[in-house]
Amino acid sequence: MPITPATATHTPSNGTADPILLELVDEDGVTIGTAEKLAAHQPPGQLHRAFSVFLFDEQGRLLLQQRALGKYHSPGVWSNTCCGHPYPGEAPFAAAARRTYEELGASPSLLAEAGTVRYNHPDPESGLVEQEYNHLFVGMVQSPLGPDPEEIASTAFVTPAELAERHARAPFSAWFMTVLDAARPAIRELTGPSAGW
């Protein structure tokens, strides 16, 4: 399984190690350049392209992940199924599918675009800033999970009531509620009214 941890470099086919670059964008989501990943998150943050995935099981429960304790940004907090950044020139849909498999060891059985949201969320713990133009995706997962322990400490499928209870007692990522609220119309369309999203 290919692994691309947040602070690692990726190795292109020529064998040299390059820093992970993010796509910088303007307020309309148009690419304007690139920046090294950690540098883009240093205050005040540089607006860059990102994605967030929300996967559900057949009962309409949302798959949450608890970020691994070794991650440099937001370690140990709960968040949506998967989130990350496309490589420069990589389509957000392709990046979302790639990272979902890399982190969870399972591919979505369905994955659909659910709009975009732009936000600016400082993380008080790390001092890093999420200035993101975020592409949202919703879908289903039906195969067994095999989470990468370098990325994910734990997973849980939750109903809306269980999410509210967990959110009240456990730390969540700074961006979680923003991306969840932005994705809700597509989530409701996917899961149906009885799921309660």
Is residue 82 flagged as an active site residue?
no
Residue-level length of the chain? 197
**Rounded CA separation 83/152 (Å):** 12
The catalytic position among 23, 103, 132, 151 is 132
Is residue 83 flagged as an active site residue?
yes
The DSSP line for 56-89 is: E-TT--EEEEEEPTT-SSSTT-EE-SEEE-PPTT
The catalytic position among 83, 103, 130, 151 is 83
**Rounded CA separation 116/136 (Å):** 6
DSSP-derived secondary structure letter, 144: P
**Rounded CA separation 161/166 (Å):** 9
Q: Which of 184, 44, 41, 178 is nearest to 118 (CA)?
A: 178
Residues catalogued as catalytic: 83, 132
